[in-house]
Amino acid sequence: MNPAMDAPRCKAFVIAGTNSGCGKTLVSLAVMAALRARGLTVAPFKAGPDFIDPTLHAAVCGRASHNLDPWMCGPEAARAILLRHARGADVAVVEGVMGVFDGISGSSEEGSTAALAKLLGLPVALVLDARSMARSVAALALGYTSYDPELSIAGLILNRVGSANHAALLREAIETSPDLPSSARILGLLPRDEALALPSRHLGLVTAQDNPLDPDLVARLARWAGDNLDLTRLLNACPALEFPEPEKAPAPAARVRPVRIGIAQDAAFCFTYAENLRLLEAAGAELVPFSPLADTTLPPGLRGLYLPGGYPELHAARLAANAGLRAEIKSFSAAGRPVYAECGGFMYLMDSITGPDGRPHPMCGVFAMAATMLERFAALGYREAVTTRDSFLGPAWTMARGHEFHYSSPTSADPDVEPLYKVRDRHGWTNQAEGFQKGNTLGSYIHLHLASNPDAASAFVEACRKE
């Protein structure tokens, strides 16, 4: 049976895991690659706030992967992002986050893959790490498939299967267990193959920018999933997305010249939410990419700068060597033009970064701060930021939500900087100093998702237009 014939509209499903480390990212990439190998157009998505997995999705699928995060964006925005970017595709594949039921706390499903799947009305293909298991896999499957009766399970993907005999034992355990629900059917058993492993480092997997996926690896992933999973059965178990009727085009308005905003994009600065870029462009921005690693000058005609997060600490020596561009960015900021920097971009605006080599490397010097890498992460979790005064994000008390995850910490405070943000985490309002504003430059360790407040995107573009 040809899956393409079964999916005249866009089918959609979630790939979730029993726990972090069970192999769901590799399985997700393999399923995406196998579906593409069958001639299907695959729209990739990532549950939660992660930046790295979407870079790998995009490399496999040939199109941007968008984050779906109801806590940051709100439920309606999460649905809208799925439908907007799945339109025109044959299949939408959503990779989950952490374990399927893991969220922002131990007592609530909020922020979990399960909550997202139920919100979107999508079934889950559940990845189980079957390594070193036999009959116990049935107990594992029973727990996960019965824990939340409202969660639709499309089937089980047993990963890291050691041999044909191991596969037979696992299949026997699942198929002969009388207590397992019908949803606990096996979609496939994936043999363990250490050659398919993805490299990782302190923030997670290595990005596609730093370690481009080899076409041969993608082809092997496609065969691994295509030969061992019943993808036709999976697609037949999935609903087709119901797309709303396209809105009528508004009457033509006076053409406004786009605002040229430079955006750092290279191996050092690659942590961007794809929806943020769309919102900035919808607000009138012409996003002009440049590389702080390779470009010696800024692109001409810029009215603002956006410096996303990434791994500047791993490229600190090269960033430091590009002294001319560092000086130009400092002058751009000193001239009062809007500069927005998140996490790695914020570190780049400090006096220096001390990277893994233990040496301080000079950076742009906008903020009299020095970033030093720590052995353990300095912060991790969702954040809600509220501005305490007017800024280029909007008037005082503008709210936006985002996420924070970094291993560096400033070793000094800039006496000329007053924090802009009041911050709330899952425990409530904090005393965290955040949102460091100096002139018309704003740096923060928090990655904001602008779908949480699209007006902030419009405000930033308009502030750049006025400069």
Segment 54-59 shows an average pLDDT of 95
Q: How many domains does the chain have?
A: 2
| Pair 164, 282 in one domain | no
Residue with tokens 């920018």: 209
Strand order in the sheet with 124-129: 66-68, 42-47, 91-99, 11-17, 124-129, 153-161, 186-191
Specify the pLDDT at position 434.
92
Q: Which domain holds residue 453?
A: 259-466
User: Which tens digit of pLDDT belongs to each residue from 74-114?
Assistant: 999 999 999 999 999 999 999 999 999 999 888 999 999 99
| Pair 51, 20 in one domain | yes
Residue 246 lies in a domain: no
Tell me the CA distances in angstroms from 194 to 26, 29, 161, 291, 311, one per residue in order: 11, 15, 11, 34, 27
CB 392 within 8 A of CB 442: yes
| Pair 225, 320 in one domain | no
Specify the pLDDT at position 126.
98
Of 58, 56, 24, 21, whose CA–CA distance to 42 is shortest? 58
Tell me the CA distances in angstroms from 191 to 129, 150, 164, 166, 404, one per residue in order: 11, 31, 9, 10, 36
d(CA 456, CA 467): 17
Reduced to 3 states, what is the DSSP secondary structure of residue 263? Answer: strand
Strand duo 428-429 + 360-362: pairing: unpaired
Segment 278-287 shows an average pLDDT of 97
Q: Which are the contacts of 9, defined by CB distance < 8 A and separation ≥ 6?
A: 240, 241, 243
Residue 114 lies in a domain: yes
| Pair 47, 158 in one domain | yes
| Pair 183, 307 in one domain | no
Catalytic residues: 343
Specify the pLDDT at position 357.
81
Q: Is the pLDDT of residue 4 over 80?
A: no
Specify the pLDDT at position 183.
86
Residue 248 lies in a domain: no
Specify the pLDDT at position 5.
39
Of 286, 324, 299, 337, whose CA–CA distance to 440 is shortest? 337
Specify the pLDDT at position 252.
55
Q: Is the pLDDT of residue 38 over 50?
A: yes
Specify the pLDDT at position 376.
75
d(CA 157, CA 180): 15
Specify the pLDDT at position 201.
59
| Pair 83, 208 in one domain | yes
**DSSP one-letter string for 178-207:** TTS-TT--EEEEEEP-GGGPPPEETTEEPP
CATH code at position 70: 3.40.50.300
d(CA 380, CA 111): 14
CATH code at position 362: 3.40.50.880
Q: Is the pLDDT of residue 3 over 50?
A: no
What percent of the chain has a predicted confidence (pLDDT) above 90?
A: 80
Specify the pLDDT at position 213.
84
Q: Which residues pair with 11 in a beta bridge?
A: 91, 240
Specify the pLDDT at position 75.
96
pLDDT-wise least confident of 1-5, 94-98, 307-311, 414-418: 1-5
Q: Is the pLDDT of residue 322 over 50?
A: yes
Residue 176 lies in a domain: yes
| Pair 273, 153 in one domain | no
| Pair 273, 318 in one domain | yes
d(CA 202, CA 199): 11
Q: In this predicted model, which residue has the larger pLDDT, 365 or 257?
A: 365
| Pair 283, 423 in one domain | yes
| Pair 189, 117 in one domain | yes
User: Which tens digit of pLDDT belongs to each residue from 101-159?
Assistant: 999 888 999 999 999 999 999 999 999 999 999 999 999 999 999 999 999 999 999 99
Query: What pTM was estimated for this model as a whole?
Result: 0.91
Tell me the CA distances in angstroms from 382 to 16, 19, 71, 73, one per residue in order: 21, 20, 8, 12
Specify the pLDDT at position 203.
62
Strand duo 428-429 + 285-290: pairing: unpaired
- Mean pLDDT of all residues belonging to the chain: 92
Instruction: Calculate Rg over the CA atoms of the chain.
Output: 23
Of 296, 286, 295, whose CA–CA distance to 265 is shortest? 295
Per-residue pLDDT band for 205 (boundaries 50, 70, 90) equals low
Q: Is the pLDDT of residue 251 over 80?
A: no
d(CA 22, CA 159): 8
